[in-house]
Structure 1
Amino acid sequence: MESIQVGHSPPGVLFKKKNGLLYDENVEAEQKQELNEKIQVPQNGFDVLVSEWMGYCLLYESMLSSVLYARDHFLKPGGAILPDTATILAGFGKGGTSLPFWENVYGFNMSCIVKEVTLTSARFPVVGVLASQDIVTETAVLHSFHLASMKESEMDFTASFELRLSESSATVPGVTWCFGIVLWFDTGFTNRFCKEKPVVLSTSPFSTPTHWSQTIFTFEEPIAMAKEESTLVSSASAGTDECPATMLRCRISIVRTSEHRIMDISVETTAISSDGRKRSWPVQIFNL
């Protein structure tokens, strides 16, 4: 399992990040110039462009921009680009961190240290393989890319979604704790260019594990969820065990930074209970 350190940015830098003003194209320009110098392009361009550009969370290392440049300058009109689709997906998870481990350490309940561990984990995206049962909610599509036609600017985006407990999790009595949001991706070799045998390469926790694993963004504190019929305590805040959420609302922004191949990811989360109570947490910013 791999951890990636979160950067702490001053307010002026955060303003630039939120307004898309921080991305520096100098390094990308150098890469593109290198491609021009090294590649011998046929007169009419190449028939097929194949690249394994995907990183953790799909966009880690930002190699996609170089692929799009190659598409525009080296691929003949109507040529195939493979894979030709890519989709980022999300779900809320109970596993993928060490947090549940502390509830039972060789028979001892050491959950008293979970808060401290949570605060540390909330500063680091975690890359690791999750089991399918670790995803306790429905799943959502954050963003889809069509590589034959997309623009480079689409690599920076914001997505909002709402998720409830999955059918299997909703049948479990009591409260289900969500420790963070989990991202993964699918890439498609679709029938647009692979008419005989289209294929989907999935890094989902519901599929065979890959070296891309999944990327977990840990909440600063766990959020309780339950099905609609839960009994609520009138004075409790949404997302607690006394007032579990029936739905989590999330807004995620992904933007490239001036540091080469690095992304900033902001996560905003709101818990909503069955009686309409809401609780929002401060924005968390991760550097990946």
Structure 2
Amino acid sequence: MGSSANVDAGDRTTNCDGVSVDKGVDFANYFCTYGFLYHQKKMLCDRVRMDAYFNAIFDNKEHFHGKTVLDVGTGSGILAIWSAQAGAKKVYAVEATKMSEHARELVKANNLQDVVEVIEVDVIISEWMGYFLLRESMFDSVICARDRWLKPTGVMYPSHARMWVAPIRSGLGDKNMSDYESTMNDWHGFLDETKTYYGVDMSVLTKPFCEEQRKYYLQTSLWNNLHPHQIIGTPATIKEIDCLTVSINEILNVTANFSSWITVEKTRLCGFAGWFDVHFRGSRENPARHEIELTTAPSIDNGTHWGQQVFLLHPLRVSEGDNMIVSFSMNRSKENHRLMEVELGCEMKQSSGKMVGPITKKFYIE
């Protein structure tokens, strides 16, 4: 995977929000993860991910045979290797971390080594998707590569993406509240002991400690692989992306207002889940012979390493036919543009006509 597009200014880098970020911190946040083989292994063991890319390439060899391919953020080099095996004439694999050394050895071990200077390409293939699609802001790099190198008749793999949100039931909220309360009880015990044994009153720090722990336990979205039965209402598409035409400005903010009908009789609404899917369709002028979908939706037995992002609310009793009216807004964090901040609001019109809410809560995707 490659780094996102930034404007350099000495030791600072300006992200697409126009916010100045310490370059060392920004790079460290990114490179400390993707430069290690254990993280690459985690992605390489994700069968849903691997099968989707493998099938997309080898079921559509005509898009690769004799063509020039750019793999943005190649990581281990697996997509570049598959592209070459599918008949690509030239493959340019870009990787900014030390993983490039391993990718180079892997390419050599598979007798596919070649050094090419790329000016323009027929296909850009990249696995740029982060948690809830846009975390990490990786897609910026792909868009910049597309605008600089892809031919007007070129193809993006994947070519389209969608983001989804749906109401859920879950026991995670009860556990997190219990953990938060236990942490605060432990803090108060710590205050008593520190004052008794060391003569220092640290209670002035209770408010910031409480805010810190509330953010961690109650406002940070959770990674989870949900079961389809935990979805209790109609899912809504909150963002559709055409990878061939979308601009960076169009993915800086994701906002949506939608309705979701509760489809389960007498249950608890515990929050909302977000996931995404991507599609390998080729282009309008050059469509894929076999369209492939990679989905991270709740699954019975084929969950992905992306899972779903869970946004927990105080539980509400709901019943079939109730209508959830939801507002959703997601923006990049000003402190670290690879992370996301979400504001979610909802009110419920019960089947009896009674209105409940509105409820508004801020979350962090970290």
TM-score of the two chains, using structure 1 as the length reference: 0.70
Gaps of 5+ in 1: 1-20, 103-111, 229-245
One-letter identity of the residue aligned with 2:341: D
- Residue 260 of structure 1 is matched in structure 2 by 337
Q: 1:273 aligns with which of 344, 350, 355?
A: 350
Closer, same or farther in 2 for the Cα pair 1:96/1:198, shift >3 Å?
farther
Contact 2:280–2:288 under 8 Å retained in 1:
no
- Residues 41 and 224 of structure 1, relative CA distance in 2, 3 Å threshold: farther
Q: CA deviation at 1:157?
A: 2.2
Q: How many residues align?
A: 229
- 1:62 aligns with 137
Distance 1:145 1:181 in 2: 21
Map 1:59-98 → 2, pairs under 5 A? 59-95=134-170, 97=172
Q: Percent identity?
A: 25
Aligned to 2:262: 165
Aligned equivalents of 1:77, 1:145: Cα separation in 2: 18
Amino acid at match of 1:274: S
- Equivalent residue number for residue 196 of structure 1: 289
The answer to whether 1:185 aligns with 2:180 is: no
Report SS of the residue matched to 1:122: helix
Offset at residue 277 of structure 1 (A): 2.5
* Residue of 118, 125, 136 corresponding to 1:42: 118
Cα distance in 1 for partners of 2:171, 2:249 equals 31
Q: Which 5+ residue runs of structure 2 have no aligned equivalent?
A: 1-15, 28-71, 73-93, 101-114, 183-213
Which amino acid is 1:75 matched to? L
Contact 2:271 2:315 in 1 (8 A): yes
Matched-pair contact (CA < 8 Å) for 1:122–1:217: no
2:277 maps to a residue whose letter is: D
SS in 1 for 2:151: strand
**Conservation of the 8 A alpha-carbon contact between 2:165 and 2:273:** yes
CA distance in 1, matches of 2:359, 2:180: 16
Superposed, 1:81-230 pairs within 5 Å as: 81-95=156-170, 97=172, 99=174, 121-155=217-251, 156-166=253-263, 169-170=264-265, 175-192=266-283, 195-206=288-299, 208-219=302-313, 221-228=314-321
Q: Distance in 1 between matches of 2:318 and 2:327?
A: 18
Structure-2 separation of matches of 1:66 and 1:283:
33
Give the structure 2 partner of residue 24 of structure 1. 19
What displacement does 1:40 show? 6.6
1:274 positional shift:
2.3
CA distance, structure 2, for counterparts of residue 96 and residue 128 of structure 1: 12
Q: Do 1:96 and 1:129's aligned partners in 2 also have CA atoms closer than 8 Å?
A: no
- TM-score, normalised relative to structure 2: 0.56
Show the 5 A alignment for 1:242-261.
Answer: 246-258=322-334, 259-261=336-338
> Does structure 1 conserve the Cα–Cα contact (< 8 Å) formed by 2:341 and 2:364?
yes
User: Between Structure 1 and Structure 2, which shows a larger proportion of helix residues?
Assistant: 2
What is the CA-CA distance between 1:282 and the residue it aligns to? 4.3
Superposed displacement of residue 227, structure 1:
2.7
- Root-mean-square deviation (CA, aligned residues, Å) is 3.4
Residue by residue, what CA displacement relative to the aligned partner does 1:243-267 show, whole Å, maximum 9, x if unpaired? xxx1111111011233231111111
Deviation at 1:165, TM superposition (A): 1.7
Q: Tell me which structure has the larger Cα radius of gyration.
A: 2
